[in-house]
Amino acid sequence: MSREGRDKKNKSEASTRSHTQARSSSDIFKTILLVVIVGSLAWFYKAIQPPPTGTVGSTGGASVTSPRIKLRDGRQLAYKEFGFPRDEAKFKIIYIHGFDSCMLDSPFPQFLSQALVEELRIYTVSFDRPGYGESDPDPNRSPRSIALDIEELADGLGLGPNFYVVGLSMGGEITWTCLKYIPHRLAGAALLGPVINYWWRNLPRDITREALSLTSPADQWALRVAHHAPWLTYWWNTQKWFPFSNVIAGNKVIFSRQDMEVVSKLGGFSPNLAYIRQQGEYESIHRDLKVGFSRWEFDPLDLQDPFPNNNGSVHLWHGDEDRFVPVKLQRYIASKLPWIHYHELSGSGYLLPYVEGLTDKITKSLLVGEEEST
């Protein structure tokens, strides 16, 4: 072979080796990239999965210490009764607790005067909502399901054909579902600083945007995640990279001056926290966020007066210094539902029923129509 031929052969072999090495390097890089991507996805998938639920009464779970009602689907709801004996009471109230709370946080035992209880013969019952305290989780929880749970609780306790509901914060939001799904069972309802789903379809976008901007950035993002990416709710509120819900974190930024005074008198914001979350944070607070800020199948602004014959009433109470639910939204809702008795309290914040004397005022207004100046 000539020298020129040998040179061409050598160049060809060198070129082949170069291309082979390049392909080999490219293949190695792609393999490493694929491993990194798969590993990252596997890590992320694991990170967003909530831990197993420690159901009360199950092996390894907390013990049952309260009476419970068994529902049609086999779940159990824990409850606690207060006030006048059930069978002798004239007025029967079901209290619906708020977010990250429980039946033990009902204001009625401590803040409803005994004189009023005796005078009007008032019976109250509070219960742990699904996944909270000692009530079984409900993996199918929805705005409708909790209203039906309340109806079953009333039937299980023999409260009669009609009863009152009083809901605080997210319990107030749930009260809207009672007005939608079981209005025929209600004698009256009171919503105390009710949480508002910023994505209810009839709320004007300019108003919801403005109202949401009044809350802290951490709470804005927590609510956006719960609505737009509910599958990320658990991870978002447990990760350490970004600020998450101030309510979950227990940050005092959500409290007004009056709220801070109330917390000081109560000896803390959430004295029953261990009990509240004993079945796991996911089934209690995180599922609560997902349901409360999901795409509801109805809008409260479409509701009709459940008491057109004036045989009952609906009251909405809100403090103008509430830092968690901007009062602007409540004013708009009250303006669109003229059958709502709207009470706006100057200088009040989030913890309305724990203010001295206010539980009596709320209760009298609901039960007998007595309304003092606010």
86-103: pLDDT as tens digits:
999 999 999 999 999 999
What DSSP line would sit under 45-99, residue for residue? Answer: HHHHSPPPP--TTSTTSPPP-S-EEE-TTS-EEEEEEEES-GGG-SEEEEEE--T
The DSSP bridge partners found for residue 91 are 122
Return the pLDDT at 138. 94
Do residues 135 and 68 make contact, with C-beta atoms less than 8 angstroms apart? yes
Residue 299: inside a domain, yes or no?
A: yes
Tally of structural domains, the chain: 1
Return the pLDDT at 25. 60
Q: What is the CATH number of the domain that holds 249?
A: 3.40.50.1820
d(CA 207, CA 330): 11
Residue 4: inside a domain, yes or no?
A: no
**Across the 374 residues of the chain, what is the mean pLDDT of every consecutive 10-residue run?**
53 52 58 53 53 73 89 96 96 96 93 96 98 94 96 97 97 97 97 96 93 87 90 84 77 83 79 89 91 95 94 95 90 96 92 91 92 46
Residue 114: inside a domain, yes or no?
A: yes
Residue 100: inside a domain, yes or no?
A: yes
d(CA 201, CA 224): 15
Return the pLDDT at 5. 52
Residue 32: inside a domain, yes or no?
A: no
Task: Collect contacts of 337-341 with beta carbons under 8 A, ≥24 apart.
Answer: 337/300, 337/301, 337/303, 339/305, 339/307, 339/314, 340/314, 340/315, 340/316, 341/313, 341/314, 341/315, 341/316, 341/365, 341/371
Which domain covers residue 348, as residue numbers? 66-366
Residue 18: inside a domain, yes or no?
A: no
Residue 207: inside a domain, yes or no?
A: yes
Residue 279: inside a domain, yes or no?
A: yes
